[in-house]
Amino acid sequence: MLALLTNDDGYEAEGLAKLAREISRVCDVLVVAPHVDQSASGHSLTLQRPLRINKLKSNFYSVDGTPTDAVMVAMYGILDNKRRPDILISGINRGPNMGDDVTYSGTVSAAFEGAILGIPSIAVSSVATENIDYLAKARFSRKLAKRVLERGLPGFTLLNVNMPNPPKNGYKGVQITRLGKRVYRDIVVENIDPRGKKYYWIAGEPDWQEFDQSDFSATKAGYVSITPLKMDMTDYGFRDELNSWNLKP
């Protein structure tokens, strides 16, 4: 079997290296990752310029584009439909991808692209951003990948995994969660450049709203969070109400 690995932190990221080493114990591995950090690139696709592919070693490539570009190049350029991945794993991201942030995340978007292409896909992120135990997270990712390869996933559904650093006595367990809700403070910082002109920097630290079974609440309590996400974002309940508006062109 073949696993396609990518990320949004760039091909040199430690999380990607640790993930590749562990997944190679389960199946063949093809790594195709962005050449530089593409955090918060979302599901963007490069259409206005050509993409450059660098083969760094056997089955390891970098692409000067987004995580979604990397998946597309892997499928239709490097593999050229001659071999199809049995699973796609994006990560291990340095920093969480929970709640509303999944809409911005290049890590999650690469997994969404895999799901669109009919490949069982997983996005894996570290909630910790310093002193990250990538090995523990890579080992859990391997166990989860084996289960996905055995059981499969529903069509157009991916697994979004967020892991804190394991406590001294190990993770408390796994919780199957829903997306949390975060609110940023000071999301845009205004400053003055050396020429006296204003500039704005998107920044800020999130406040998380705690509620039962959310990804944030689970990871804060020391659990691994797994949230199943669907590509179909249709609000079926409101669709029925919208029909009752009896709108006319």
Phi-psi region of 40 (alpha: psi -120 to 50; beta: other; left: phi over 0): left
C-alpha angle 161-5-234 in degrees, rounded to nearest 5: 50
Q: Is 141 exposed, middle or buried (0-12, 13-18, 19+ CB in 10 A)?
A: buried
Phi, psi at 144, each rounded to 5°: -70, -40
Q: Residues 138-159: what's their mean pLDDT?
A: 97
Taking only the tens place, the pLDDT of each residue in 206-235 is 778 878 899 999 999 999 999 999 999 999
Mean pLDDT of all residues belonging to the chain: 93
Instruction: Specify whether the CB–CB gap between 94 and 126 falls below 8 A.
Output: yes
| DSSP letter (8 states) at residue 101 | G
> pLDDT at residue 204 above 80?
no
- Residue 185 pLDDT: 67
For position 31, what pLDDT does the model report? 98
Q: Is the pLDDT of residue 186 over 70?
A: no
What's the start-to-end Cα distance of the chain, in Å? 52
Give the model's confidence band at 171: pLDDT under 50 very low, under 70 low, under 90 confident, else very high.
confident
The percent of residues above 70 in pLDDT, for the chain, comes to 98
Which pLDDT tens digit goes with each residue over 67-116? Answer: 999 999 999 999 997 899 999 999 999 999 999 999 999 999 999 999 99
The closest alpha carbon to 46, from 35, 55, 60, belongs to 35
pLDDT at 82: 87
Instruction: Say what the pLDDT of residue 44 is.
Output: 93
Please give the model's pTM, rounded to 2 decimal places: 0.92
Domains belonging to the chain, first-starting first, are: 2-181+210-232 (3.40.1210.10)
Q: What is the DSSP letter of 175?
A: E
Q: Tell me which DSSP letter residue 99 carries.
A: G
Could you read off the pLDDT of 29-80 as tens digits, one per residue? 999 999 998 888 899 999 999 999 999 999 999 999 999 999 999 999 999 9
